[in-house]
Structure 1
């Protein structure tokens, strides 16, 4: 039995958080001990039985890696690891670090056997951060450079290639391990009845309201899509999304139920799922939609979607930031019949096989 720690900035409604909960769930089912250590005290998810969850700070932990706090934060982190290992009577065989604040603390600590999981395009994140000003850019650039000479795991081959060919991070080792998916569990949750799910035809977008997700492009495209369908948005800031929808003249065609812990039944009943992002690490929602038999359209982000939408599905990859192309693909997919059960990606991402790839790092 392996003893695994997963360290993450928080357990709020994001992709990396869901991926790590899925991974932890599978590792526990294989008989291993898993503890998730969240820096922040927030959790938006129902944590499955058998997974230990601890919170390092009793607040949002948004500044714990800043220069005036980082030393005290590292002492607290090291003390937690020391105490936990004493309590369990053995050290952690593998530590998986996720997101910037966790990475910044762990890379400066004395904790061993750490692998850093890169969930997003480094270059795209840096370009986006430049627009937020020099301090924000410097913080992120320094955070990325901290990962040089460390063991990295990327969630798509595209990100591995970007880092290997880039000038920001020079890793000690780097390997790609796709995100884990419990396909049967996804399909079962997709069958759960929910009276809030619309009876009328709709397409769906699942993702937090962030510039990366390009809701502006989505709304501009939706304005050109058949008026017979609505657009369901599962996002974290519905009021803000509605204001943006008004700007693009589609507010009355949008349904905003807010964040859903189980998005799979909403996705299953959709005519299609649309991803409009500028960049992704992998594009989890595309795979989840395919798993429940829902057609997909995606922007051709540099990383992820083109590894998921292969074969006939590649017809539904469109250029980024092009509302007309996105609208044309949506209209096309709404009138197409596709057999998604044979999608190649479904054979590469089973949770059991992905968990074994992670556990092999602890050998």
Structure 2
């Protein structure tokens, strides 16, 4: 555990967020931002606990941040490990409670849900759903029986619980679509974004930026993100503008790039703590996913003033662009439409006017922080 002793607190609302790791994903970034946003609110205090030491994000500057002594987040909820994990977590929670009563625990991601559901404590527990459950279950079923059963077991702990979802679309699935996974209540709270911090970071100097115009894609290489679809559309577009990927390099990724004959047009820039400077200078941000919970990168790109082009996947992109730039969505199965829209947006160079964006206010960090605080208070006595 990497925090100082907990001091007695006078805050009216005290929230603990629990997540599998600080690996470089969108949900992890959301939890870190939410933690800071709640701590910026008066009479509120946030704690964040990672179940493992695995981390890509810099957390050294954070207060009230703890890391359990497990080297990996894999199989932390397995029968032979979960007892030890829960014991360590419960000891830490008791330590935090010495500083004052905890209002609520919010669990993020499936392994954390599984661990948190079995905790022997009286604190109200809530589960935050960051992605489409239907899509994740469908993908797991296609990959194999045992993986599907493991994921189903992890998600089943949310049945008849009070859930928070990061988009209304994700929430709609949990109110009748899945017989064995139906929420007692669903509250949609959009992910928090510190607009001023994003704009400040976007002004940074980045020596690795290309000297010529580029398209940008940000995201891990996974079945969900469908980078194969991205490469197909990019190749069909015939544009000469290079494509930059902010993702971890790998042999698998290099082989995929080569299979499309794009070795001289695709740049793998790696993971970065500051993607916003890359967004600000990009001609266009591209998203090619089969599903999302919300899609942080679309929001961040728009805040940086960069146009986006996304598949109209469940569930976030359509909500983000509703009554704003719905023409920046393309059907998931229509590669030619994706390719043609890349060409069109590079040619027309549209501007992003965030003052005309209906969703702008709901994405602000203080809005999300207050929504979580009110949610915790509302359910405290339930």
TM-score by length of 2: 0.91
> 1:238 touches 1:258 (CA, 8 Å); kept in 2?
no
> 1:208 touches 1:237 (CA, 8 Å); kept in 2?
no
- Structure-to-structure mapping, 1:154-233, within 5 angstroms: 154-166=165-177, 167-233=179-245
Q: Does 1:340 align with 2:350?
A: no
The alignment partner of 2:236 has SS state of coil
CA distance in 2, matches of 1:277, 1:21: 23
Structure 1: which 5+ residue stretches go unaligned? none
Choose 41-50 or 179-188, whichever is displaced more. 41-50
The alignment partner of 2:171 has SS state of helix
- Structure 1 residue aligned with 2:4: none
Choose 321-330 or 152-161, whichever is displaced more. 321-330
1:82-114 per-residue CA deviation (whole Å, 9 max, x = no partner) reads 13322x2x1221211001111001111123221
The alignment partner of 1:131 has SS state of helix
- Structure 1 residue aligned with 2:103: 93
> 2:16 touches 2:46 (CA, 8 Å); kept in 1?
yes
- Structure 2 residue aligned with 1:110: 120
1:287-327 per-residue CA deviation (whole Å, 9 max, x = no partner) reads 11110110100000120100011235111111113321211
> 2:302 touches 2:352 (CA, 8 Å); kept in 1?
no
The alignment partner of 1:354 has SS state of helix
Structure 2: which 5+ residue stretches go unaligned? 1-10, 378-382
Runs of 4+ with >6 A deviation: none
> 2:176 touches 2:182 (CA, 8 Å); kept in 1?
no
> 2:51 touches 2:85 (CA, 8 Å); kept in 1?
no
- Structure 2 residue aligned with 1:128: 139
- Structure-to-structure mapping, 1:1-363, within 5 angstroms: 1=11, 2-31=13-42, 32-47=44-59, 49-86=61-98, 88=99, 90-111=100-121, 112-166=123-177, 167-336=179-348, 337-341=350-354, 342-363=356-377
Choose 57-66 or 279-288, whichever is displaced more. 57-66
RMSD across aligned C-alpha pairs, in angstroms? Answer: 1.5
The 1:48/1:180 distance shift into structure 2, 3 A limit, reads farther
1:233-289 per-residue CA deviation (whole Å, 9 max, x = no partner) reads 001234432220110111210111100110000011000000000000001111111
CA distance in 2, matches of 1:348, 1:5: 22
CA distance in 2, matches of 1:66, 1:268: 43
Choose 208-217 or 140-149, whichever is displaced more. 140-149
The alignment partner of 1:76 has SS state of helix
| Structure 1 residue 149: Cα displacement | 2.0
> 1:222 touches 1:250 (CA, 8 Å); kept in 2?
no
CA distance in 1, matches of 2:109, 2:291: 16
The alignment partner of 1:106 has SS state of helix
| Structure 1 residue 48: Cα displacement | 6.8
> 1:94 touches 1:361 (CA, 8 Å); kept in 2?
no
| Structure 1 residue 75: Cα displacement | 2.5
> 1:208 touches 1:236 (CA, 8 Å); kept in 2?
yes
CA distance in 1, matches of 2:299, 2:34: 16
The alignment partner of 2:55 has SS state of coil
CA distance in 2, matches of 1:93, 1:27: 13
TM-score by length of 1: 0.95
1:186-218 per-residue CA deviation (whole Å, 9 max, x = no partner) reads 111111111111111110000011110000000
Choose 117-126 or 34-43, whichever is displaced more. 34-43
The alignment partner of 2:224 has SS state of helix
> 2:17 touches 2:46 (CA, 8 Å); kept in 1?
yes
